[in-house]
Amino acid sequence: MELRAGTDFAGYVVERRLGAGGMGVVYLARYPRLERLVALKVLGDVFAADPGARAAFEREARLAARLEHPNIVAVYDRSGPGDPALWLSMRYLAGGDAMSLLASNPRGLDPQRAIRLIADAADALDHAHAQGVLHRDVKPANLLIDHDRRHGERAVLTDFGIARTLDDTVTLSGIAASFAYAAPERFTNQPADHRSDIYSLGCTLYQLLTAKPPYPRKDQAAVIGAHLMEPPPSPRAVWPELPAALDAVIATAMAKQPGDRYPSCSALADAALAACTLRVSFARPANAPAAEQPSRTGETVPEGGASIEVDALIRQPDHRTTPSPPAKYLGPEGVAPAPHTDGPHGAAATSTPLLRRWRRHPWRIIVGVLTIVAAAAGIVAIVLNRFADDSPAAFVNRSSVERAVMSAYADLQSADCPDRLSSAVGASVRCTAVKQDSSRMYVMVTVTGSQGRDVNIAVDTSPN
């Protein structure tokens, strides 16, 4: 449904179109009775015609409307049971979204600015998770930018729960969310919880830092495969001047297993903030009072010692000066005293402890070294044997799998692995059919080797 300027829709007068996405179109509209501008989101006709989608939309919109948080876009009204279209009216923010910030910053945002926006979104997500609401579609385009005199620039999260409408009706789990930011479990039969939002928030942080999506690929099947199989990307591989600790933050946030990620979105934001701050601690006398420092949330946290915080992004080592060598004690004549070589052991007194032990018990050193070498050789042999026996290349021929899938899924209907596919591959297989729309379909095949290791292969079964 396309609305023109001046159209009267559900009691709102359309001013102009703000943007469009995979779920619908957003308009700037005016509510005449209050003379208030709102963002009016109208979902596509295909969802309004599906009774399941309509019921899911009404459920999720009702939950989202109850969320009250300064970093969550307020929902004013929604479509009723008798409305021909599904729509939401929300608070209008004129600052655009995070994608518009990246358009004007092609090298990515300043890390401090990016982390500040992520922290705003993290607070909003943790609040929603505490209410039992998942977002399911965290991405830069859903981080709206607000400006006010008191707080300056801040991020406000929108589209809570709307992706759930599509997940439950039109497609399989995960397809409603944007492929570039979806957690690996969204493409499988594993249940998704708040940790899926943490993964997507990590993807969003990566893009704000680098101005690139985490897995830029040519087609959606390759993006799915990257989320399932490839390691988390490194921000410093794009911009080496970024703090090195941010690589570990992204790797934890985008861990393949949900249990390996941060426990909350705020924990991710705190780790990112700490990665951009160099903390140098000094010992404090035992009788000195404990120092307290504010955390990101404004709470005071006792420290074990006094500390100095230096912005690692601004303050760099000064290579223009050379540190002075340590001072030496000079004797009364201005000459450094010579080391003592007399005594019962003579010059041997200045030798190292290892050298003295070697002279006394050489056979113990030899036995110890040989034991360490033998243990290391055994570990290497075990690792090489495992990868040699059950590496992906040892039991999976990707070309054969792709041909078998294309043959087995010629009708584009079944979502289960047929018996002839297992016979053709020669190993245990599991299949997940990922249907984007009526014309495109992907099949994710999981092949299990003899030792239980899995290889995921995405095959595009769409007709040319």
DSSP-assigned beta bridge partners for residue 224: none
User: Is 97 marked active-site?
Assistant: no
In total, the chain counts a number of residues equal to 464
Dump the DSSP string for 430-444. Answer: EEEEEE-SSS-EEEE
User: In the chain, what are the helix, strand and coil shares in percent, each to the nearest 5?
Assistant: 40, 20, 40
The answer to whether the CB of 111 falls within 8 A of the CB of 246 is yes
**How far, in Å, CA of 307 to CA of 395, rounded?**
55
**Residues 126, 137, 146, 167: which is the catalytic one?**
137
Residue 15 corresponds to which amino acid? E
State phi, psi for 220 to the nearest 5 degrees: -70, -30
In degrees to the nearest 10, what's the CA dihedral of 405, 411, 414, 417?
-20
In the chain, DSSP finds a helix count (H) and a strand count (E) of 15, 15
**How far, in Å, CA of 126 to CA of 452, rounded?**
36
- Round the CA-based radius of gyration of the chain to a whole number and report it: 30
**How far, in Å, CA of 232 to CA of 252, rounded?**
8
State phi, psi for 128 to the nearest 5 degrees: -65, -40
DSSP-assigned beta bridge partners for residue 144: 97, 156
Active site residues: 137
